[in-house]
A and B are shown apart, each in its own frame.
Chain A
């Protein structure tokens, strides 16, 4: 075992893994974290805790991850390269590990001009691929950047994101290969709506043998409403929502659209399970955590495997 995390064990057992997501609150109230996260207990193998996503100031990923641990949920601590230099990042990795965090996700991070601190200075001392390598070197060699030894190795299970829908499309599998080369253990993709494109991406990844070197989890986000779907389709760079999905939502009664969104998500989960190289699903029910049990059950992913 590299880290001994629950998520790693699920993969090791050959089970189809399932992770959820929890965005920390815009303040210091621990109850808010618990409120959201309680819906996920027992329904997912691990929970991503976002790091100031969309550059909006929120409770730190480390802090919220620790709260999840106390609730019996396993966190995947996200860490972005936007806000910290290599000193702070390496230090936070030590701290996170000492607090019991065993999975982390290495990300570039949304640019600060999207959030509520648009005048801030960004850092990007290192990029996400270099961060993967930093965490990997810490775990495997017990060394930080520059070669100094760690007084206790943080043995993290290392994740990263991939966006099959970003451009240039032909470079995306190459970029995934770079993440593998840097030492990534698992990948969570951006929300998938364009299934044809995702299939093509996975085909290329499988041809390159990348699915054997890391566990690729397909990102699924249920659409709550038509406005949300349209927002995802037009406002979020790197997300593609095909016409037929918008039409399908439009085609049902307004009150039924949330249900239809969930139905679509369940179908998508079943579909990605059939694609070669997909080792799990990352379910991002954004501000819809209480629907997770329903989706997980309906998709036939309940109960979750016991691995201890």
Chain B
């Protein structure tokens, strides 16, 4: 899922200083699961804003709405009425939702309420870890199901650097060395010989480095549209 975390209140107040009628818009999918921007967090931010604006003598009306997914236009339709008449929307979705709302509801000003951090797993209560950097050309089949692009601090593709010590990364002792994990997994799988091969230079063209990406699938489109 997409993992995010709430922006500091002071920063959000900075965004809304000249607004009168504000909607806090949540998203019910990834950011709800990681407890950054779902319905509950919308209530929380709205509550904080009401209190903070009173102390700061700001005349602001704050309302709340949550769409199941801000990245789908059908779901955005469900909060259309809530957006109507507002001069500012604080989107609590990931950066995708913020932009999608800004696009669908132009010219209403849309600002982010959270920081979009990474794609990861919820590996323990209140703990999330990054697992994928959507490089667009998955190497996991060759690395025992552990991503060196994401989980090695240097994105090394040919094994651990000299800083791997006791299974940990030199950058942060709380971080596992991805290559230690890969080595252990490949050993357990009986595929260590595969790690002896030199992984050639990677094409980053399918990653962000090829420019903004898009995916088009004709098999998903109704036949009459294909012509």
Contacts and interface: CB of A to CB of B under 8 A. Distances in A.
A181 B198 CA distance: 8
B157 A127 contact: yes
Contact of A178 (B196, B202, B204): B196
Given A166-B164, A171-B183, A190-B162, A124 B156 contact: yes
Interface stretch (B92-100, B165-173, B219-227): B165-173
B67 interface: no
B204 A125 contact: yes
Contacts of A126: 201-202
Nearest to B166: A167
Main secondary structure of the interface of B (DSSP, over half): loop
A113 interface: yes
Contacts of A130: 157-158, 198-201
A174 interface: yes
Contact of A166 (B154, B157, B161): B161
Nearest to B192: A174
Given A82-B154, A86-B201, A111-B170, A168 B180 contact: yes
Contact of A129 (B158, B171, B179, B204): B158
B158 A178 contact: yes
B195 interface: yes
A145 B162 CA distance: 26
B154 A124 contact: yes
B177 interface: yes
A175 interface: yes
Contacts of B197: 178
Contacts of A190: 162
B153 interface: yes
Contact-residue bracket for chain B:
20 to 34
B159 A167 contact: no
A177 interface: yes
Interface string A154-166: 0000000111011
A134 B202 CA distance: 13
Interface in B128-162: 153-162
Contacts of A237: 162-165, 170
Nearest to B153: A111
A308 to B, nearest CB: 35
Residue among A122, A129, A145 with the highest chain B CB neighbour number at 10 A = A129
A167 B158 contact: no
Nearest to B161: A108
B180 A122 contact: no
Interface of B: 153-167, 170-171, 177, 179-180, 183-184, 192, 195-202, 204
Interface of A: 81-82, 86, 108-111, 113-114, 122, 124-130, 133-134, 145, 161-163, 165-168, 170-171, 174-175, 177-178, 181-182, 190, 237-238
5 contacts: A130-B198, A133-B201, A161-B162, A167-B165, A238-B163
In the complex, the 4 A-B pairs of residues with the closest C-beta atoms, listed nearest first: A163-B162, A237-B170, A129-B158, A237-B163
